[in-house]
Amino acid sequence: MQTVPWEEHTGEAGGASYIAPVPEPEVARIWFFTRKGGFSEPPYDSLNVSTLVGDEPEAVTRNLSRIKTVMGERLSAWVRQVAGDGIVRVKGPGFAGEGDALVAGERGFALVVAIADCVPVALVGEGIVSMVHSGWRGTLSGISGKAARGMDGEVCAYIGPGIRGCCYEVSEELAERFAGRFGAGVVSGRDLSLPEAIRRDLKEAGVGEVHDLGLCTGCRPDLFYSHRKEGPKTGRNLAAVALR
Ligand SMILES: [Zn+2]
């Protein structure tokens, strides 16, 4: 699969480390935050954003504050992720309900999802952005394509760090369902590539440019949390997008 270059940004205001595509889109900012530059102790070290995994709430609060600083003091809009294909249209920051994708056409705040192996997908249209949390269920139901179809103008997609075929063996039944839906190329034996399935879904939805950063959360424990590799006692990475 074709991948695009990316760059790790460390030591910027606030200190939270993130990865961004190179070049970044002209009309939006994208931050795929790593696990580096935060306050959480092992096994949540160190930029964990979830209070639901057993980490100290105070550390999470400090981590979120650092992340906000890196994002130019933007507030965030977030959803209660339920591993489905629900898309929530938001008008401002704050809790936006249940779903696995956010869409907004307003400036001044960021759309965020929390990730540990599932794939964050940032979509950039004309004056509109979306952030998608695409686990296997959401990917199979085509959540990224669904989000893209609801956006105005030409849409560009950025597939962020998630678990890839090298680290994601699934049941034979699930592998067959994916091959049946997206074509044989998304699986190799029982190894499933969620990013490849997402790329095909986005292409079907008419997205012209699909940029895959090529990063695997399972292969890079130095940069990302991985539920598959580290078990339930691990953190969550934040992925964010905002109009400039
Ligand atoms: Zn891997």
The residues pairing with 69 across neighbouring beta strands, listed in sequence order, are: none
| pLDDT bracket for residue 2 (50, 70, 90) | low
Q: How confident is the model at residue 150 (pLDDT cuts 50, 70, 90)?
A: very high
- Ligand 1 centroid – CA 219 distance (Å): 4
Can you tell me the mean pLDDT for 15-22?
95
Q: Domain map of the chain by residue range?
A: 6-243
Helix (H, G, I), strand (E, B) or coil at 111: strand
How far is the centre of ligand 1, averaged over its atoms, from the C-alpha of 128 (Å)? 32
Residues 6 or more apart whose CB falls under 8 angstroms from that of 173 comprise none
State the distance from the centre of ligand 1 to the C-alpha of 196, rounded, in angstroms.
13
Q: Directed axis angle between helix 172-182 and helix 194-204, to 10°?
A: 20
Query: What's the 5 CA to ligand 1 centre distance in angstroms?
Result: 17
Give yes or no for residue 43 having a pLDDT over 70. Answer: yes
CATH of domain 6-243: 3.60.140.10
Distance of CA 137 to the CA centre of its chain: 15
Over residues 76-89, the pLDDT tens digits come to 999 999 989 999 99
Ligand 1 centroid – CA 220 distance (Å): 7
Is residue 152's pLDDT more than 90?
no
Using DSSP bridges, classify how beta strands 28-33 and 237-243 pair: parallel, antiparallel or unpaired. antiparallel
Q: By the 8 A CB rule, do 156 and 211 touch?
A: yes
Tokens found for residue 57: 């709430």
Q: How far apart are CA 73 and CA 122, in angstroms?
A: 20
User: pLDDT for 89-104, tens place per residue?
Assistant: 999 999 999 999 999 9
- Confidence class for position 112, pLDDT limits 50, 70, 90: very high
Q: Is the pTM of this model over 0.95?
A: yes
Q: How far is the CA of 213 from the centre of ligand 1 (A)?
A: 13
Chain segment 194-204, per-residue pLDDT in tens: 999 999 999 99
